[in-house]
Amino acid sequence: MEINNRIKFHTMIMRELQEYRGSLLITPVAFGGALIVIMLVAVIFAGRLAVIGEGALGILMGDEGRSINFEVTIDEDSSGGQELYIDRVKPDTSTLPSQELTVVVTPLEVPEDTWNFSQEWSFSAPSPEPRGEGDDIEGDSLNPVLGGFHNVFCLIMFLVTINYLLGCLYTDRKDRSILFWKSMPVSEWQEVLAKLAVASVVVPIIYLGVSLITQILETYIAMVLVWRMDGSGTELVLSRVQFIPLIIDQMGGMVVWVLFTLPAYAWFMLASATAKRSPFLLAIAIPIGLVLGERLLFGTQYVLASIANHLPHKIDGDDVNSLGLYDFGPVWSQLDYLGMVFGFVFAGAFLAGAVWLRKHRFET
């Protein structure tokens, strides 16, 4: 019996992936492929920037010993005055190919007593002080940049999942295919839980896997890009990516995502099982009504805070106790576990309502 239930559950999950393969499977792959293509195009055209590439990278990354030298000449005219020329701007040949750029400058007449130093002099822009061994290098890490790519994947996943949940129990009532599924040897609880498992477990695993593969490929393509610009890909890119913390942080963030979005996902399923015309309008109208009613009657915002606690948002500063889009992963010791437990209670109630509606009504 247990084996049969596993087979049925697996079959229902595969059926959902097959029916919604465009949004659940193709969308993350297409988005990751688009990012990789953009990086490859940048590599192709990087050769045009090779002349100034290393110098630009040196300035951006704050490397020591990279500067631009200016040579200034002061000439005396026949009347005894002095004329100031910037006649050459020459890059530091220790970091760039030997080149010289001539700049045409209108001479500036300067009173004789203003200048009393040698006729030719030069100066260089100051270089940053070398970093000590004990200095913090977190600011140089590229993990937040890769985390930004991952956060975009998460936002796309959230939108795709909402669309899936709002339609998963509504569409088959609309096209009457629910009659076929009611004739199958599966219970309503199995159907609802299978759809929830797709949204909260299978889809996050798919998007996380595609996101990590994309980030790794982006890192190595960035190394090639830096190499094409006469820089060191190992020093400027690879050494600034900590892959193990990156993977652990993003996996941890996805676990928090699954745990905190359960009540929101269950609510969308309840709206899908309830709505006769538009599950989306029903799903947003009731929460908005509750938030506005509380605000007008009591002047508080507890409902809004509770809803926001289970929806993804950017985490800034000390706001680390709820579901968010993280740069370095969640702070486990400061998560709102009580809010998470209450979320499980509401999720159970919403799922029970969806199952009851699935069992007792199926017309649109």
Residues 200 and 293 in one domain: yes
pLDDT recorded at residue 57: 46
How many alpha carbons lie under 13 Å from residue 114 in its C-beta half-sphere?
A: 11
Residues 150 and 271 in one domain: yes
Token pair, residue 168, equals 């998963």
End-of-domain residue from the set 55, 89, 124: 124
Residues 75 and 201 in one domain: no
pLDDT recorded at residue 93: 47
Give per-residue pLDDT as tens, 158-208.
Answer: 999 999 999 888 888 877 777 776 777 778 888 899 999 999 999 999 999
Quick check: is 62 in a domain?
Answer: no
Residues 222 and 96 in one domain: no
Quick check: is 57 in a domain?
Answer: no
Quick check: is 161 in a domain?
Answer: yes
Residues 162 and 108 in one domain: no
Instruction: Going residue by residue through the chain, which has 364 residues, state the pLDDT in tens, using 9 for 90 and above.
Output: 566 778 888 888 888 888 888 888 999 999 999 989 988 887 777 655 444 444 444 544 444 444 445 455 555 555 554 454 444 444 444 444 444 444 444 454 555 555 454 444 444 545 545 544 444 444 478 888 888 888 889 889 999 999 999 988 888 887 777 777 677 777 888 889 999 999 999 999 999 999 999 999 988 888 888 887 777 778 888 888 888 988 888 898 888 888 889 999 999 999 999 888 889 999 999 999 999 998 898 888 888 888 888 887 666 545 545 555 666 677 777 788 888 899 999 999 999 999 998 887 655 5
pLDDT recorded at residue 102: 47
Residues 178 and 279 in one domain: yes
The pair phi, psi for residue 28, each rounded to 5°, is -65, -40
Residues 233 and 344 in one domain: yes
Residues 157 and 288 in one domain: yes
Quick check: is 252 in a domain?
Answer: yes
Quick check: is 133 in a domain?
Answer: no
pLDDT recorded at residue 111: 55
pLDDT recorded at residue 324: 58
Give dist(CA 99, CA 6) in Å, integer.
71
Residues 78 and 204 in one domain: no
End-of-domain residue from the set 97, 124, 151: 124
Quick check: is 9 in a domain?
Answer: yes
Quick check: is 279 in a domain?
Answer: yes
Count up the domains in the chain and report the number.
2
Of 293, 273, 299, nearest in space to 363 by CA: 273
Quote the distance between the C-alpha of residue 183 and its chain's center.
44
Q: Residue 151 belongs to what domain range?
A: 2-45+139-360
Quote the distance between the C-alpha of residue 128 and its chain's center.
31
Quick check: is 323 in a domain?
Answer: yes
pLDDT recorded at residue 322: 53
Residues 147 and 203 in one domain: yes
pLDDT recorded at residue 197: 94
End-of-domain residue from the set 124, 148, 173: 124
pLDDT recorded at residue 112: 54
Residues 81 and 184 in one domain: no
Residues 104 and 153 in one domain: no
